[in-house]
């Protein structure tokens, strides 16, 4: 994109300075050609250039954020949180990315608010997109399903029903830090839940803190992390594309 803008700007300046008569071909270019990527055959299926983070078989792409292997369970093609075993993170590190992830909340039992079906998707281990049961479950709106935790309430509650699979498609632009760790460009995120836009190119103010205000600390590429918040949320069909 930057190359395209620079090239077009150069063409316009050169044309203005020379007073030339424009032709259609003056603003056309043919390289570099974009790579060919084959889409998935069905909605939500990974495209040809995606990294498959969970295919329903094992946790080989994941590790515990504490010590040792990821301790969550794999059953019936699902990755299920084992409460109190801790969060897990990818072995691979990521920056700008497109993430697809599906989740299902467990039975509500007597839980309410933040105690019902709570987990979190942490881009670069720091910035949380909330996972929560949104089926008749009131809570603070900047902590409900579809929120950027404690920063941005969703544009809509697109959660369908407890016990049904929910689909997140997340488009992430990592923050950029310059000399001495100074923030040059904030992180930006677009989130689609079940086909409905719930975060529209939101610029994050920093990390998503439970207590206190957000702030940035310089970092590079980091793992994707999934939170253990004490309930047996299930995940499936997780893939990511580096951008």
pLDDT band per the 50, 70, 90 thresholds, residue 205: very high
pLDDT at residue 70 greater than cutoff 60: yes
Q: Domain containing 146: what range?
A: 49-242
- Residue 207 covered by a domain: yes
Q: Helix, strand or coil for residue 93? A: strand
On the 0-12 / 13-18 / 19+ scale of CB atoms within 10 A, 19 is: exposed
Which residue matches tokens 């040809």?
Answer: 48
- Residue 113 covered by a domain: yes
- The stretch 115-129 carries a mean pLDDT of 97
pLDDT band per the 50, 70, 90 thresholds, residue 13: low
- Residue 15 covered by a domain: no
The CATH number of the domain holding residue 131 is: 2.60.120.560
Structure-model confidence comparison of residues 228 and 110, the more confident one: 228
- The stretch 180-188 carries a mean pLDDT of 97
Which residues fall within 8 angstroms of residue 28, CB to CB, at 6 or more apart?
Answer: none
For a pLDDT cut of 70, what percent of the chain falls above it? 92
8 Å CB contact between 126 and 223: no
- The stretch 53-66 carries a mean pLDDT of 96
Phi first, then psi, for residue 129 (nearest 5°) are: -95, 125
Q: Quick one: pLDDT at residue 67?
A: 85
- Residue 5 covered by a domain: no
Number of domains in the chain: 1
pLDDT at residue 182 greater than cutoff 80: yes
Q: Quick one: pLDDT at residue 110?
A: 85
pLDDT band per the 50, 70, 90 thresholds, residue 160: very high
- Residue 199 covered by a domain: yes
Task: Of 4-13, 131-140, 171-180, 231-240, give the lowest mean pLDDT range.
Answer: 4-13
pLDDT at residue 131 greater than cutoff 80: yes
pLDDT at residue 148 greater than cutoff 80: yes
pLDDT at residue 17 greater than cutoff 60: no
- Residue 25 covered by a domain: no
Helix%, strand%, coil% for the chain, nearest 5: 10, 35, 55
| Alpha helices (H) along 129-177 | none
Tokens linked to 152? 């941005």
pLDDT at residue 5 greater than cutoff 60: no
- Residue 141 covered by a domain: yes
- Residue 21 covered by a domain: no
pLDDT band per the 50, 70, 90 thresholds, residue 14: low
Enter the pTM of the model. Answer: 0.90
Q: What is the pLDDT of residues 99-109, one digit of tens each?
A: 999 999 999 98
């Amino acid at each position: 994109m930057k190359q395209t803008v620079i090239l077009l700007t150069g063409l316009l300046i050169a044309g203005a300075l020379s007073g030339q008569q424009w032709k259609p071909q003056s603003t056309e270019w043919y390289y570099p050609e974009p790579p060919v990527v084959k889409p998935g055959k069905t909605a939500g299926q990974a495209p040809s250039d995606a990294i498959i983070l969970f295919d329903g078989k094992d946790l080989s792409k994941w590790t515990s954020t504490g010590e040792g292997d990821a301790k969550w369970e794999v059953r019936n093609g699902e990755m299920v949180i084992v409460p109190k075993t801790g969060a897990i993170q990818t072995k691979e590190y990521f920056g700008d990315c497109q993430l697809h992830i599906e989740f299902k909340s467990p039975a509500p039992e007597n839980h309410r608010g933040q105690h019902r079906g709570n987990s979190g998707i942490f881009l670069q281990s720091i910035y949380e997109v909330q996972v929560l049961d949104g089926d008749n479950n009131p809570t603070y709106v900047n902590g409900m399903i579809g929120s950027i935790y404690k920063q941005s309430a969703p544009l809509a509650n697109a959660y369908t029903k407890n016990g049904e699979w929910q689909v997140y498609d997340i488009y992430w632009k990592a923050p950029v830090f310059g000399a001495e760790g100074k923030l040059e460009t904030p992180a930006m995120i677009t989130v689609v839940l079940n086909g409905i836009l719930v975060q529209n190119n939101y610029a994050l103010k920093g990390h998503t803190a439970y207590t206190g205000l957000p702030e940035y600390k310089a970092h590079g590429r980091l793992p994707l992390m999934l939170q253990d918040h004490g309930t047996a949320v299930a995940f499936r069909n997780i893939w990511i594309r580096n951008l």
